[in-house]
Amino acid sequence: MVSKTINSNSYIWPSDNHLSLICDGRITDQIVDDFGVNVKIRQIFTSSHNIYGDATQTTSDTYSMAYIHQWKSTDDEVKEGIYKNGQIMFVFKPTDSVKIKTGNKIFYQSEWYKITDVEPQIFSGTIYLINAVVKKNI
């Protein structure tokens, strides 16, 4: 690694741009690969209307890796009211963005979860993770 001095106080910073690794998704993809689990994603499509005029749906199932996070009362985001205690979030790679849409479903450990909110994590104009906030499908 090449280093350079950026001011007279002798702060040393790497000259390589390591932020580009995050933006390229290589570091964040590795987090999902290392700590994630295999989940089934059910995409739901409104395809046509039946003879009564009601929309009909078709589905398509695929598999992806996701990191699962359950929010706890001790988390700052719960204390600030952003998330609720016990709320579950699946974290996906940006390559899954087509499948991670509000209304689609995720199957994990014999339970179906409905995606209620999709929160892309963007850094320097590039999506590096996709958070799918879910609720248990009843």
Per-residue pLDDT of the chain (138 residues; tens, 9 = 90+): 444 444 444 444 444 444 444 445 567 778 888 889 999 999 998 878 888 888 888 899 999 999 999 999 999 999 999 999 999 999 999 999 999 999 999 999 999 999 999 999 888 888 889 999 999 976
- Go through the domains of the chain in sequence order and give each one's CATH number: 38-136 (2.40.10.270)
Residue 109, token pair as written in the block: 């450990």
**pLDDT attached to residue 122:** 87
Q: Does the global pTM surpass 0.85?
A: no
> pLDDT value at position 102?
95
Beta pairing, strands 126-136 & 105-108:
unpaired
